[in-house]
Amino acid sequence: MKYKNSFFKIELKEDGTYLDLFPPVSDGKSLDLKEITEFLEGKGVPFNALVVKKALESLLDKPIRVKLTDTKIEKFDESAKITISSDNMIAYARFYPPSTGGNLMTKKEIIAELERVNVSYGIASKVIDVFLMARQYCLNIPIAKGTKPVPAQDTKIEYKFNTKPLSKPKVLEDGSVDFHELNLFTGVNQGDVLAVLTPHTMGEPGKDVFGQVVQPNKPKIKILKYGRNISISEDRTVITSMVNGNVTLADDTVFVSDTYTVAADVDASTGDIEYEGSVMIPGTVKTGFTVKAKGDIQVNGVVEGATLIAGGNIVIKRGVQGMSKGKLVAGGDICAQFFESANVDVKGDVIAGSILHSNISSGGKVIVSGRKGFIVGGEVVCESYVEVNSIGNRMETQTMIKVGVKPELYEEMKGLVGIVTELNDAIEETSSYLDVYREKVKNGVKLTPENMKLIKQYNAKLDELNAQRGDKNERLLEIREELNKGKQGSVKVLGNVYRGVTLFIASCIHIVKDKEVHGLYKIVDGEVKPTAF
Give dist(CA 350, CA 343) in Å, integer.
12
How does strand 187-188 pair with strand 238-241?
unpaired
Handedness of CA 252, 365, 172, 377 (dihedral sign): positive
Instruction: Judge whether 156 and 221 are in contact, CB under 8 Å.
Output: no
**pLDDT value, residue 445:** 83
Instruction: Tell me the three state secondary structure of residue 329.
Output: strand
Containing 494, the helix (H) or strand (E) segment is strand 490-497
Ranges assigned E (strand) in 416-461? none
Which tens digit of pLDDT belongs to each residue from 373-387? 999 999 999 988 999
Burial of 153: CB neighbours in 10 Å, binned 0-12, 13-18, 19+? middle
Give dist(CA 209, CA 146) in Å, integer.
5
Instruction: Judge whether 246 and 278 are in contact, CB under 8 Å.
Output: yes
How does strand 290-293 pair with strand 307-310?
parallel
**pLDDT value, residue 151:** 94
Q: What is the mean pLDDT of each run of 10 residues along the chain (533 residues)?
A: 83 93 89 92 91 90 92 93 94 95 95 94 94 92 95 95 73 66 71 95 94 93 92 95 85 84 85 84 93 90 94 92 91 93 93 94 90 91 91 93 75 86 91 86 84 88 90 86 76 92 87 89 86 81
The pTM for the full model equals: 0.53
**pLDDT value, residue 178:** 65
Quick one: residue 392, left, alpha or beta (phi over 0 = left, psi -120 to 50 = alpha)?
Answer: left
Closest C-alpha to 334, from 352, 314, 307: 314
**pLDDT value, residue 244:** 80
Handedness of CA 401, 394, 516, 335 (dihedral sign): positive
Give dist(CA 70, CA 46) in Å, integer.
9
Instruction: Judge whether 501 and 391 are in contact, CB under 8 Å.
Output: yes
Q: What is the DSSP letter of 154?
A: -
**pLDDT value, residue 168:** 64
**pLDDT value, residue 181:** 55
**pLDDT value, residue 27:** 84
Give dist(CA 382, CA 360) in Å, integer.
8
